[in-house]
Structure 1
Amino acid sequence: MEVKAMTHLGDRIGLVGLAGVFVLAGALAWIGGDSRADESVVDLSDPRIGNLTAYISAQCYTRTEDDSGRVSNPCFTCHTRGRIPTYLDDHDLQLSYSLPGDALANPWTNLQVDRSARVAAIGDAAILDYVRTDNYRDAQGRPILAETLTRDLPDTWDLDGNGQWDGYVPDAYFDFDEAGFDRTPDGGYSGWRAFGYHPFPGTFWPTNGSTDDVLIRLPAVFQRNADGRFDLSIYRVNLAIVESLVRRRDVRLDPVDEIAVGLDLDDDGILGEATRLVFDWAPLEGRSMSYAGQAGALQSKGELHLAAGLFPEGTEFLHSVRYIDLDEAGAVRLAARMKELRYARKNAWYSYAELKGINDREGAERALDPDILKSVPGDFERGMFTQGWVYQGFIEDGQGSLRPQSQEETLFCMGCHGGIGATTDTIFSFPRRLGYETYRHGWFHWSQHGLAGIPEPRLEDGSYEYSRYLEINGAGDEFRANTEVMERFFDADGNLLPERIQALHEDMGTLLLPSAERALTLDKAYRVIVEEQSFIRGRDATVEPPLNVHESLIQNQATGVEEPSF
């Protein structure tokens, strides 16, 4: 069965040119007319930006030292020594607020808003009805936004005025089989595959506001055998090879016929049946690895690249951020409604030396001028560019339909992806994929299996990751505003409760999942922000202003953290 063609990449891996529009200063125009004369359509035609440091997240304004002198350190999760070829080492940001002058006044003023009255005015039934309404697919299961972008594009979304949408058009159907592959209405494959993962500590835990999911897709050449025909077995193997390279470890496999694949996957010197893919990439010692099928042929010609810690060019990720729903028993589950749809595609290959050059150059510029701002080429229509990747996003309009993010809203995404030491080739999720021993070997969508019942992740030294976060941060979120987690895991003196930590070791859902009451409150708080369309002032679903937030800072002000954590 042939996979749905990815026409934006073609049969080979092409480089998609960017507009090269750089972020500009100014105010953002919000509402205006369009070709449909619909005043509800957000006017994106003005690309000017009011907050030039929108790439610095609200969490970077956390007040880490309380009035009693007790210090919390949520910063270590993001700001750390990168693993080469992530050359960035920004662990110094655990110790001081080293922000450019334009960022010293906290621009995320939504954190200062009390939404209590508006949240209280929204009924439980109303918010549940809202979050259970699918704003991505129509009644026939087709992506609604794709229809708008390709057939009824508003003039004010067409930045270059060429009469067409030049960015990503949503093409996932969110109809997953037992192996996590997304299936098209005709029974084919879209190329997207869902995977389970350990959510990154802090903000992206559902208890702090949102559920989410992530899909990966490799280009069509990775899905074809040497004869150029779609081959699901080849695609599975190539996904495993990419995982092995990115995570730099062996990967367990369902039994694979190495003769059919044409590779000695388990590195035992013979072609037989492999149940393990061996990571063996040491080019300075004359050892490398190869992709399977058509991708392997292109790699041998130098038209595709392979290296540890890097995804191949053409790799795509699709990340939906969603509301929190409740099942019949009141347990938390993934909502049908999306808050955001985020897309990433690796357009260009950068070698280790080139990535080091980018990091060294940016570091030298910051050393010469601490007020220098991050330069981000691109625009909201084609996406914004960093280290070979292009990022683009869609977000709810005031009525709850998905629309493209504005220039400033897109810039919001560009600090964490490519601007911190914690990512792998700018990506958070895939290196955190669940292992072979988990449900469906980790290849599933969160609608098929929830977070409950999955053991807590462990770090390479054997320690428990989430328990360590609670210990170092002294809370379950950066602002230390999640009182439910505080009451669940800490005693009155701020000490962790051993029995709760033991339960967490066995089931990460005990920490990550909020109560039904908190889930609905978080949904309501974010719904208020959607109605206001005030995303440029912050997206955190707070009801009352969190106390542990700086409204302004002095450049290089000490955080109170004396020793960095890694």
Structure 2
Amino acid sequence: MASQGFNRPIILLCLSSIVGFGGTLMGEYISRTTLHNPYANIPAQCYIETSGGTQNACMFCHTNAPARAHLGNNNPQAGLSTVTGNLQTTYSFAPVTQQTIAATINPWENTLFPERLEVAYQKSANRFDERTMVEYLKQNNWSIAYSKRGGEMGWENGQDTSTWRLFPDLSPSDLPAKADGFVRTKSKERALFGDITGWRAINFMPYGIFTPMSGSVSGIYIRLPKAFMQDAKGAWSEAIYAQNLALLERAITDRLEANDPKTYYGKASDVEVHRGLYPLYTEFAHPLHYVDLRAKGTRATRVKEIRYMVKTKMFYPGEMVEKDEDAPIFLNEKQGWINNGAGWILAGFIEDAKGNLRPQKAEELMQCIGCHSDNYGFEPSAFTSGRQYH
């Protein structure tokens, strides 16, 4: 398993694999010292000026508030967790190795010297004609990318070695979700049961980077394994699926009640309910749209990114481990995915210079790890974003 590799010595390139439910994901270990920015997991916001400590912008992320409010963040970061500690007051950036540049030096030069970025942009052969922006936002680059993916769920298809293997099986032509939150389809190829794709739109607690004010409009969708959609006899049951999603919501937001079952409903009755944990093979799809004030909900047709997560291994809270600052990262750049060291595979597809989606590179994938990792031997000891279902 990939998570075991984080306890090994650094290896520049080491071909390995993650065995999933029905297939194998092939990747490689690489040292972060080979990256232009070995601290790409630490976002530019973390280098903000605090006026000598009088302004605590760090508390926006490193806080206990979401956990106290039961918003889905089961890993508070300001002292409530004995595992994480108080990241507001005691966290420091340690170097990957003693031979690399210090993490305390801001590597995000575009925030320090924006004028240099403007000069480079004006000289670029791919400089954008801003007069065409309105039409650009209406172009459907998501559908073009979706048409390149295989027919089966990529993480289950062991024979698939294509670039688009982990592009999420969520078609924009099936959106928006219906009033009940379920994403339905008229396509027989995309339907798991009847017209159900299995995807469910959810509400979530947004951080500042996912709001129209900062230039992005998000949609987040969850899909549980097929067993969670079936009754005890294996027949499709919308009622069972809704029950299981509601039970998962209470588990994730620490709202489980005394009379809640210890296992999920229907064919998933052999799966235990754990506070703060998603079941194995839970999937998330996260399209990140441009803002279009002319569109409904300000959500442009064009997407900046398509993000995907699938849980391939169970980890449980309370496991005490020592952070491994120089841990290698396990990824596949061709397919645009990375292992977060806590049981999840994260994939990302982002616009290229011409506006077409492409798999993300190693440093871009490291950005995902900055938030979506945990206390299992990866730098940094980070947090899970709050999510709520309705």
TM-score range, shorter chain: 0.7 to 0.9
C-alpha displacement of 1:54: 1.0
Cα displacement string for residues 289-311 of structure 1 (whole angstroms, at most 9, x for unaligned residues): 22111001xx1xxxx33211111
Structure 1 residue corresponding to 2:369, chosen from 387, 405, 414: 414
Q: Once superposed, what is the RMSD of the aligned Cα atoms?
A: 3.5
Match of 1:147 in 2: 147
Cα displacement string for residues 332-372 of structure 1 (whole angstroms, at most 9, x for unaligned residues): 6111111111111111112335xx13xx222xx5xxxxxx3
Q: Percent identity?
A: 29
Match of 1:180 in 2: 181
Match of 2:268 in 1: 295
| Structure whose residues are more often helix by fraction | 1
Is 1:210 matched with 2:205?
Answer: no
- 5 Å-filtered alignment, 1:255-404, equals 279-280=257-258, 289-296=262-269, 299=270, 304-327=271-294, 333-353=298-318, 356-357=319-320, 360-362=321-323, 365=324, 372-380=325-333, 381=335, 382-404=337-359
TM-score, normalising length from structure 2? 0.72
CA contact (8 A) 2:339 2:346 kept: yes
Label 1:76 to 1:194 Cα distance change in 2 as closer, same or farther (>3 A): same
Question: Greater Rg, structure 1 or structure 2?
Answer: 1
Structure 1 residue corresponding to 2:168, chosen from 167, 170, 175: 170
Cα displacement string for residues 450-480 of structure 1 (whole angstroms, at most 9, x for unaligned residues): xxxxxxxxxxxxxxxxxxxxxxxxxxxxxxx
Is 1:75 matched with 2:55?
Answer: no
CA contact (8 A) 2:286 2:308 kept: yes
Label 1:292 to 1:164 Cα distance change in 2 as closer, same or farther (>3 A): same
| Structure whose residues are more often strand by fraction | 2
Q: Distance in 2 between matches of 1:182 and 1:350?
A: 29
Cα displacement string for residues 5-36 of structure 1 (whole angstroms, at most 9, x for unaligned residues): xxxxxxxx82764535222357xxxxxxxxxx
The number of residue pairs the alignment matches comes to 326
Match of 1:113 in 2: 114
Match of 2:227 in 1: 221
Match of 1:242 in 2: 248
Q: Distance in 1 between matches of 2:328 and 2:58?
A: 23
C-alpha displacement of 1:249: 1.6
5+ residue gaps, structure 2: 1-19, 68-72, 96-100, 152-158, 188-193, 377-381
CA contact (8 A) 2:231 2:237 kept: yes
Label 1:167 to 1:411 Cα distance change in 2 as closer, same or farther (>3 A): farther
Label 1:340 to 1:166 Cα distance change in 2 as closer, same or farther (>3 A): closer
Is 1:98 matched with 2:93?
Answer: yes
Is 1:57 matched with 2:58?
Answer: no
CA contact (8 A) 1:193 1:216 kept: yes
C-alpha displacement of 1:97: 4.6
C-alpha displacement of 1:95: 5.9
CA contact (8 A) 1:173 1:182 kept: no
C-alpha displacement of 1:130: 1.1
- 5 Å-filtered alignment, 1:378-527, equals 378-380=331-333, 381=335, 382-419=337-374, 427-431=384-388, 433=389, 442=390
- Any idea what SS the aligned residue of 1:391 has? strand
Match of 1:276 in 2: none
CA contact (8 A) 1:79 1:89 kept: no
C-alpha displacement of 1:184: 2.3
Cα displacement string for residues 410-437 of structure 1 (whole angstroms, at most 9, x for unaligned residues): 122112112589xxx9541424x5xxxx
CA contact (8 A) 1:75 1:94 kept: no
Cα displacement string for residues 112-150 of structure 1 (whole angstroms, at most 9, x for unaligned residues): 22366879x97765212111212112xxxxxx2233344
5+ residue gaps, structure 1: 1-12, 27-47, 138-143, 152-160, 251-278, 282-286, 366-371, 434-441, 443-566
Q: Distance in 1 between matches of 2:23 and 2:254?
A: 29
CA contact (8 A) 1:23 1:407 kept: no
